Amino acid sequence: MADAGMPQISRGLEGVYVDESSVGKVDGQEGRLYYRGYPIAQLSDNSDFEETAYLLLNGQLPDRQQLESITKQLAESRDLPKGIVDIIKEMNSKADPMDILRTATSALSAYDTEVQDASPEANMRKSIRIISRMSSIVATIGSVAAGREYVAPDKSLGHVENFLYMLNGARPSKESLDIMRVMFIIHAEHSSNASTFGTLVAGSTLADIYSAITAGISVLKGPLHGGADEASVRMMRAIGKPENTESYIESALAGKQKIMGFGHRVYKTYDPRARIIKEYLIRLQDHSSEEVRTLTAIALRAEKLMVEKLGQSHGIWPNVDFFAGPVYIAAGIPVELFTPIFAASRSSGWCAHMLEYWKNNRLFRPLEYYTGKIDLEYVPIDKR
């Protein structure tokens, strides 16, 4: 029998507003995403990661001098301390790349003399260092996994170009650079998702920003948040050939299996980020490898079937993860790095939200409705 005094419980905090924010807005009904008021499509078409990071951190687009300043700060922070490289090498082949990223990012605090300085100015400087070095960590994870040594950063390169240079030991093609520029921008921010909330919960205790970002990485690792792009690619590879797509999807749906890359907790229509990535994928397919062309054909057929069956009727549409995998593969990115790259990009959004929240900080302390027994009599162990 239900307790008459039981409060209304919003599991997963669904529909609960925890704060105000001007960093990002997700319009799930209309399928729109804004960074500080700017539509994501405008930024992906016109911006670069440095400018987008400045926008998120500072609330406005930079002028030329401000852009040059953050670009210089990001470039000067890229090089990893030897101890961080040693952690990556030690954990290589023993741990998931997200575990390596989490551990290495946490360890960065040992090399930051401002770690205990909680002033807004110091937190901004630390945020820029975190954003810069997380990309270097992910690139080094990939480089070491491929059997190469640590590639020192090139300060003359932009943020995304340097990431690809550190990952592969060579400057990227224009096509790969353009793909990754867009991927870094569209993954940079997404309002109060699970990992952003995890970051804020940790930071609300007034833990340092390294602790807060490490919490964000930990939350992102879970397959219900990060990792769906990897799962989507593995599904496409399991399908094998484009002509197998419909039978595979029909069989999976009949067995009530989840089709990875479809559906979203907030979007009730087409994810705007998925539209952007889909356009790039279609544009790239004729100039890509046979695998990318095959994955693209499978993705487009799967999308058509899923939209027809579940789009309008159930509000299940492609999300950002569905087309991301084939696009990453077109840029030469190994599957194991999909989620770490997501984290490296999202660090800019995490830091922006943390800096904003600290301006009016309040410790998160939600209530929990107790349903267990009370006033039990303790029984000594020899009488149990």
pLDDT in tens, 294-353: 999 999 999 999 998 888 888 888 888 889 999 999 999 999 999 999 999 999 999 999
State the pLDDT confidence band at 3, using cuts at 50, 70 and 90.
Answer: low
Do 135 and 159 meet the contact criterion of CB atoms below 8 Å apart?
yes
**In the structure encoding, which two tokens stand for residue 280, read together?**
């790039």
Q: Give the pLDDT confidence of 101-111 residue by residue, as tens digits.
A: 999 999 999 99
Q: Give the length of the chain.
A: 384
Q: In what order do the strands lie in the sheet with 38-39?
A: 24-27, 32-35, 38-39
Q: Helical H runs in the chain?
A: 40-46, 49-58, 64-76, 82-91, 97-107, 120-145, 159-168, 174-186, 194-204, 209-221, 228-239, 245-254, 272-284, 290-306, 312-314, 320-330, 338-358
Q: So what's the pLDDT on residue 194?
A: 94
Q: With contact defined as beta carbons under 8 Å apart, do 279 and 186 qualify?
A: no
Q: 38-224+345-358 has which fold?
A: Citrate Synthase; domain 1 (1.10.580)
pLDDT category of residue 4 using cuts at 50, 70 and 90: low
* Domain range list for the chain: 38-224+345-358, 228-330
Short-list 159, 199, 191, CA closest to 36: 191
Q: Are strands 24-27 and 32-35 parallel, antiparallel or unpaired?
A: antiparallel
204, 361 contact by CB (below 8 A): yes
By the 8 A CB rule, do 126 and 209 touch? yes
Asked whether 317 and 309 are in contact (CB, 8 A), the reply is no
Let me know if the fold of 38-224+345-358 is the same as that of 228-330: no
Tell me the per-residue pLDDT of 33-80, one tens digit each, with 9 for 90 and over.
Answer: 999 999 999 999 999 999 999 999 999 999 999 999 999 999 999 999
Pick the CATH number of 228-330 from 1.10.460.10, 3.40.50.150, 2.40.30.30, 1.10.230.10: 1.10.230.10
> pTM for the full model?
0.94
Percent of the chain scored above 70 by pLDDT? 99
Token pair listed for 25: 């807005």
In angstroms, the CA 118 to CA 221 distance is 27
Distance CA 86, CA 109 (A): 15
* The predicted structure's pLDDT at residue 1: 43
DSSP 153: -
Chain CA centroid to CA 337, Å = 11
Please, which residues have CB within 8 angstroms of residue 287's CB and are 6 or more apart in sequence?
A: 175
Average pLDDT, whole number, for the chain? 94
* Catalytic annotation, residues: 264, 321
Distance CA 241, CA 239 (A): 6
CA distances from residue 271 to 305, 379, 380 in whole angstroms, order as listed? 17, 57, 59
